[in-house]
Structure 1
Amino acid sequence: MPSALILIADGSEEIEFVTPYDVLIRAGFQVHSVGVNLKDSFATCTRNIKIIPDTTEIPSTTECDILILPGGGPGAKIFSSTDAVQHLIHSYRDAGKWVAAICAGTTALVASVKGGGKTEGLESTKKVKVTSHPSVKDEIVKAGWEYSEDRVVVDGKIITSRGPGTALAFSLEIVERLCGKEKRDEVSGPMVCVSTL
């Protein structure tokens, strides 16, 4: 059974957290959520919805198959400035595991490379083709990353997407990459969505 670790912070985008969580559960993943630097026992998201994560202990190891970073500007800033999250992104990339980021969450991936230049040749030092919410495009391009305006972009073991409206396509892409197209179709059919979003 594949497993996913999804982060959440105050100011994360609800749709971008809940959609992958829901879709991956439907696909048979074991999904774990971790709250990062929360003020309370719950995350207060961008539309004031409150979500209680499974834990607030950020793991130091890469036990899951994929690390997922939802967007929401304030939440993404927390991911970008939290050393334990940055270390986790490095660890997942260097272990050859998947990292997925949506919307402003891509900026946390970008920040991890800014701080990761000490060790040449490691996967965590490589800039790949990504996408994001349009509001953070300039920041990503200025940092030297190749940018695409496609709804979902996959480069190596990095999956990125644009925003709340692409959260379902993003989630189904994760399912396909880790479990195959047949599993994607099996999940998307009962959800009454087109599997080629």
Structure 2
Amino acid sequence: MPKALILIADGSEEIEFVTPYDVLTRAGFEVKSAGVKLENENWATCTRNVRIVPDHPTLISVPSQSAHEVFDVLVIPGGGPGAKTFSTYDPVLELIHEFRKAGKYVAAICAGTTALVAAEEKFHGAGHGKKATVTSHPSVESQIKEKGWGYSNDRVVVDGKVITSRGPGTALLFALTIVGLISGNEKRDEVARPMIVAETL
């Protein structure tokens, strides 16, 4: 059974958190969420004031040293304030680094891509590291390009084990892409069919 770890912080975008959690669960993944620097230890308050209770209130119960051995994919939602928390919090940057070093999937959507960029800069410095071609919300496009990363305006971009996407409106395609890459297109279609997914997302 594939396993996914999804991060959440205050100010994360709720659609970008809930949609991967839902779709990956439908696909038979064991999905766990972990709170990052939550003001209230019981829930995250998202960008539109939806409260979400993570499976793990902190990353302490999901040590970065072993998470990459347990989980097949790390999912990083967007939402400006939440993405800023991820991008400036060393345990998250270490987690991203460990997943990438182990050759595991890292999937980021919207402003969440900035955490991926920050992790590479922290561990490899500007101009080095395992950069990839990515996408993001347009609001953070320039800062990603400034760090020397390849950039695409496609709705979902896959470059090796890095999966990125643009925003709430692409969250379903983002999640289904993760399913297809890890569990195969047959499983992806099996999940999409009863959800009445449009042929063009």
SS at match of 1:92: helix
1:70 aligns with 2:71: no
Partner in structure 2 of residue 30 of structure 1? 30
SS at match of 1:53: coil
Partner in structure 2 of residue 177 of structure 1? 181
- Give the count of matched residue pairs: 193
Deviations 1:98-144 (A, max 9, x none): 000000000000000111117x99xxx21100000000000000011
1:79 aligns with 2:86: yes
**Is this contact kept in 2: 1:184–1:195, CA < 8 A?**
no
Q: CA deviation at 1:56?
A: 2.3
Instruction: State the alpha-carbon separation in 2 of the partners of residues 131 and 155 from structure 1.
Output: 10
Q: CA deviation at 1:57?
A: 3.1
Letter in 1 for 2:174: F
Q: CA deviation at 1:196?
A: 5.6
Partner in structure 1 of residue 52 of structure 2? 51
Instruction: State the alpha-carbon separation in 2 of the partners of residues 22 and 91 from structure 1.
Output: 25
Partner in structure 1 of residue 167 of structure 2? 163
**Is this contact kept in 1: 2:37–2:58, CA < 8 A?**
no
Gaps of 5+ in 1: none
**Is this contact kept in 2: 1:9–1:36, CA < 8 A?**
yes
Q: CA deviation at 1:195?
A: 5.4
Instruction: State the alpha-carbon separation in 1 of the partners of residues 39 and 10 from structure 2.
Output: 8
Letter in 1 for 2:164: T
Gaps of 5+ in 2: none
TM-score, normalised on structure 1? 0.95
**Is this contact kept in 2: 1:16–1:71, CA < 8 A?**
yes
**Is this contact kept in 1: 2:133–2:149, CA < 8 A?**
yes
C-alpha RMSD of the superposition: 1.4
Higher helix share: 2
SS at match of 2:154: coil
Equivalent in 99, 103, 107 of residue 114 of structure 2: 107
Letter in 1 for 2:104: K
